[in-house]
Amino acid sequence: MHIDSLLKDALAQGASDFHMISGNPPFIRIHGQLQPLNKTALKSSDIESMVKTMVDENRVKKFQIEKDLDFAYATPDGTRFRVNIHWEKGNIGLSARTIPIQIPSMEDILMPQVMYDLCNLERGLILVTGPTGCGKTTSLASMIEYINQTRSSNIITLEDPIEFVFKPAKSIIRQRQLGSDMLSFQSGLVHILRQDPNVIMVGEMRNLETIATTITLAETGHLVFATLHTYSAAQTIDRIIDIFPPHQQNQIRMQISLTLKGVISQRLLPMKKGGGRVAAREVMINTPAIANLIRENKIAQIKSTMQTSAKEQMVTMESSLKAMHQEGLISDEVYNENITPYEK
C-alpha cells in the first residue's frame, strides 16, 4: 500500500481532506462530511512506512524532536497536499488537505466587489479570518493572484508550508517557506524590507511578535495580507489587542485604527444544489466610524455600525447568510443552523 494510491483514490471521490489513524481505515472529508475511504484498517507500522516515503531525513529528525510536522507533498501527477503528521497515543497520525493545482479567481469563489477595491490599495493591512478549514488560504491566494495579474508589484509570501504555487504574470513573486527558507515568520518579516516588497502575505499571524511586525510593515507603506483564526470582524480586533500586554494596548489600538483597511471573516457551508461548498462572508471596512470605535475601545459596537453601513459595502455574517438563503445557494436547514435566533 502506497500513500500516492490512497491519495489518488481520495481525490477521485472528491475529497478535500484525508486522514490516517492507527487501527482505523483511512477517512476522507467530502463537502464537509467525514466518511471511510475503504474498509482496510491501517496499522501503525503501515502509516509509519508511508510517511517515510513522503519526507526526507532532515524532516524525519525534526519530527522526532518536535512531535509535529507540517509540509507540502506532491504526488507524481503534480497534485499537491498540505500535510500534518503527528503522534497520538504513541502512534503516527496523518492529515492531508488537497491544494488545487489551479488558483481560483476571485470570481470563481464569489468574492464581493469590495474585495477588489481592497486589493487595488497601495498600502494597509487586510485580514482574512475564520475557523480552520473555512477557505482562508484559497481566498488569500485568489487575492494575491488578482494582484499578480493586474499590477506590477514585488509580492513576497511567508507560508507554512507553501500551498498554492504562483506563476509571475505582471508581478514578480517570492514564496518563502517556514523551516526551509526562513527560521520563523518573525525573522522573515524582520528582513523583508531589504527585499523591496510592494505586497506581503503572511500565512498566519501566530504570536505577539508576528502580529506586531505585521502591523509595523503595514504602517511603513506596504499592502499586507494575513490570516487569523477568529470568527468575526469584532473578535479579530479583540484578539489582536488582547495578545499585547496592557501597557501596549492603547498604542496598538491606535496603530490598528490607522493601518487596518478591512477584515473578511468567512465560513464554508454546503450548497443546496450540485454538491460542493460556498463561503458566507462578513466584511468590515475600516471607515472613520469603525476606526474611532477601535481607538475608543468600543469593539462591542462594531457589529451595530456594520449593520447600518451597507453603503460602505460592509456585510454582516447574518446579512450574508440571508442573501445566500434567498438566492437558493444554501438550504433552510443550513441557514437555520448558522443564523443566530434573534437575527431571523
274-317 pLDDT, tens digit per residue, is: 778 899 999 999 999 999 999 999 999 999 999 999 999 999 99
Residues 109 and 279 sit within 8 Å (Cβ to Cβ): yes
pLDDT surpasses 90 at 339: no
**What residues form DSSP beta bridges with 129?**
228, 265
pLDDT surpasses 60 at 332: yes
Identify residue 112 by its one-letter amino acid code.
P
CB atoms within 10 A of CB 72: 18
Mean pLDDT, range 80-86, rounded to an integer: 94
pLDDT single digits (tens) 190-248: 999 999 999 999 988 989 999 999 999 999 999 999 999 999 999 999 999 999 999 99
Bridge-based pairing of strands 33-36 and 68-74 is: unpaired
* Residue extents of the structural domains in the chain: 3-99, 113-343
pLDDT surpasses 50 at 342: no
The yes-or-no answer to whether 3-99 and 113-343 have a common fold is: no
Please report which confidence band the pLDDT of residue 341 belongs to, taking 50, 70 and 90 as the band edges: low
| Torsion angle (degrees, nearest 10) of CA 274, 276, 282, 286 | -120
Helices and strands in the chain: count of H runs, count of E runs? 13, 13
pLDDT of residue 31: 83
Identify residue 184 by its one-letter amino acid code.
S
> Phi-psi bin for 91: left (phi > 0), alpha (psi -120 to 50), beta?
beta
The percentage of residues in the chain with a pLDDT greater than 70, rounded to a whole number, is 99
Instruction: Output 183 or 116, whichever has higher pLDDT.
Output: 116
pLDDT single digits (tens) 5-14: 999 999 999 9
Domain 3-99: give its CATH code. Answer: 3.30.450.90
Q: Which of 85-99, 114-128, 286-300, 329-343 has the lowest mean pLDDT?
A: 329-343
Q: For the chain, what is the mean pLDDT?
A: 93
CATH number of this structure's domain 113-343, picked from the four choices 3.40.50.720, 3.40.640.10, 3.40.50.300, 3.30.70.20: 3.40.50.300
- For 261, residues 6+ apart whose C-beta sits below 8 A from its C-beta are 118, 121, 124, 125, 126, 285, 286
Look up the pTM and report it: 0.87
